[in-house]
Structure 1
Amino acid sequence: MTSPVPEVPQAAPPIVPDTKDWTAVLGVGCEECGFRPDEVPPAALGGAVRDMAPRWVAALHRPDVQVRPDPTTWSVLEYGAHVRDVHLLFAERLRRILTEDDPLFDNWDQDATAVEQRYDLQDPAVVADELADAAEAFAALLDGVREADLDRPGLRSNGSAFTVRTLEQYFLHDVVHHLHDVRG
């Protein structure tokens, strides 16, 4: 008698990619979530990241964490996995912009990553722990940024120019905006 072959869970349908240029929120704020990342002083960024981590952890412990509110919107789990990866990616980018001259950041297709990494099937408790760890590591990195380095430049693969200051603001908006998305 042969053992039954375990059934592989079917992937959640991919979300239609967001093509909005979110760099537009720099300097003017976000109409959708109301956040003004330019109003947070660079010296306060580490604390802001630490303050948001428990809200993400709480959201990832909700009983409906894997339920999409509609077919075109990520679940809290998918947003949480994305935000964990945003912390990791921006930590890498910040390290590069602080240590390299004019680094060019590789493209990151967040929608493809969500499908490839099966965000929809990850363990919410593990994602919560990993997000908290990534947030603390990134906050520590932010705490060490010197004011003299805030204008160091870097480029995204699509040509968007960043400085340390605007990279930090862009990151902060992403995390705050997604907390708004999940009502965290």
Structure 2
Amino acid sequence: MTPPPLPEEDHHCESCGLRYGDLTPSAALRLIRSYPTQYRHRLQHLPADVLRRRPAAGVWSPLEYACHVRDVYAVYDTRIRRTLTEHEPVLEPMHNDERAERDAYDRQPLPAVLSALERNADRFAALASEVSERQWSRSAVRLPGERRTVLWMVRQATHEGLHHLHDIGVGATDRAVLFDVDGVLVDSYPAYRRIWSRWATHRNLDPDLVWSHTHGRRPIDTITVVAPQLDADAEYRLVRDMMAQEGDAFPVYPDAAAVLSLMKGQPWGVVTSGRTPTVLQRLRAGRLPDPPVLVDSSQVRRGKPDPEGYLRAAQLLDVAASDCLVIEDAPTGVEAARTAGMTVIAVRTTHPDDELAGAHHRVDTFSDTIPLIADWLNSTHP
């Protein structure tokens, strides 16, 4: 029986939302390393009949999905090793359904499956982390005309783990993740520095002093603090005009799509000092999904470091503040989230470590949040 065709190199999965072209190797490996814990959380407490029962004809049981993902990492480990050492090797199809029946996926002991999944995922990630820049483009062939690169193999293996987590069903849905936008989802630092420096020079103010009051604050609050003698509303319009002149100089961070792929089926939102039309424009330009909840500067009386924005987002999501995880980059945002009673991960994209000391966790890059977010969503401990 001829197996179905492989996804293309630039595949976009409409079901789980993953875009291969948006998935960097570093984000892919962090996702893969997070999967064993996520599968363990989702499967270990299922009743035996639910764990092993197929919910519908042609749909695998949760245990069978876990067995399949375990085998994906073993198979793709071998595929990559061959592709790195042979010239365009011909790869054997996995024959998923035949393998599931032959190896009796539905009768395998769950602890052994989970342990093997962890070993295989760790081994695969370790191998992929050693691939050099020039090796990512090496390719192999499966069916005639199906030539795929090493980079595609890593992305495909990442997709398999994520997609089947969604097939099994979401984990804990009583916890939410809230994201700041600038410095977290959107790399706006260079453009905003130019805008505020230009405005400060225009008004004979110290650009460095003005800049120091911008992080995590609403623009109108910054203007009120650094230039109380000016008409804040008029100056805000001027700043917005300067911002419009920057055009598309506000790219999303490379790993933003991978982080948000964890959010499918989970409550999440953004809390920003910006304005909704601008925020949505930038997220959509980066092919990121619209947030289910978006609290912007117009929806609060007091901006960060006041907790009002984060508390409003939790209320809109109908989630307790203590069950919210916040991803921030600015000290004012960290303070706002902590005051709201939320757990905070700070990303060192715009501020040094010592200025983010109030956060519960501090990481270097956005993709470093992946295992922390996965653990938060799937754990039941406080």
TM category, shorter: 0.7 to 0.9
Query: Bigger shift: 108-117 or 60-69?
Result: 60-69
In the alignment, is residue 150 of structure 1 matched against residue 133 of structure 2?
no
Deviations 1:58-82 (A, max 9, x none): 2231223112222321100000001
C-alpha distance in 1, partners of 2:98/2:64?
A: 12
C-alpha distance in 1, partners of 2:87/2:103?
A: 31
Aligned to 1:56: 39
Aligned to 2:244: none
Which ranges in structure 2 are unaligned for 5 or more consecutive residues? 171-382
Question: Does the 8 Å contact 1:60/1:128 carry over to 2?
Answer: no
Question: Does the 8 Å contact 1:107/1:158 carry over to 2?
Answer: no
TM-score computed with the length of structure 1 as normaliser: 0.83
Larger radius of gyration: 2
Percent identity among equivalent residues?
A: 32
C-alpha distance in 2, partners of 1:20/1:143?
A: 29
C-alpha distance in 2, partners of 1:91/1:179?
A: 20
Question: Cα gap change, 1:155/1:89 in structure 2, threshold over 3 Å: closer, same or farther?
Answer: same
Task: Pick the aligned partner of 1:77 from 21, 44, 63.
Answer: 63
Count of residues paired in the alignment: 167
C-alpha distance in 2, partners of 1:113/1:97?
A: 23
Aligned to 1:65: 51
Greater relative contact order (Cα 8 A, min sep 6): structure 1 or 2? 1
In the alignment, is residue 40 of structure 1 matched against residue 23 of structure 2?
yes
In the alignment, is residue 21 of structure 1 matched against residue 5 of structure 2?
yes
User: Is the partner of 2:63 in helix, strand or coil?
Assistant: helix
Question: Cα gap change, 1:76/1:158 in structure 2, threshold over 3 Å: closer, same or farther?
Answer: farther
In the alignment, is residue 124 of structure 1 matched against residue 110 of structure 2?
yes
**Structure 2 counterpart of 1:172, one-letter code:** T
User: Is the partner of 1:154 in helix, strand or coil?
Assistant: strand
C-alpha distance in 1, partners of 2:90/2:62?
A: 31
C-alpha distance in 1, partners of 2:2/2:72?
A: 16
Backbone CA RMSD of aligned residues: 1.9
Query: CA offset at residue 50 of structure 1?
Result: 0.4
Question: Does the 8 Å contact 2:3/2:95 carry over to 1?
Answer: no
Aligned to 2:243: none
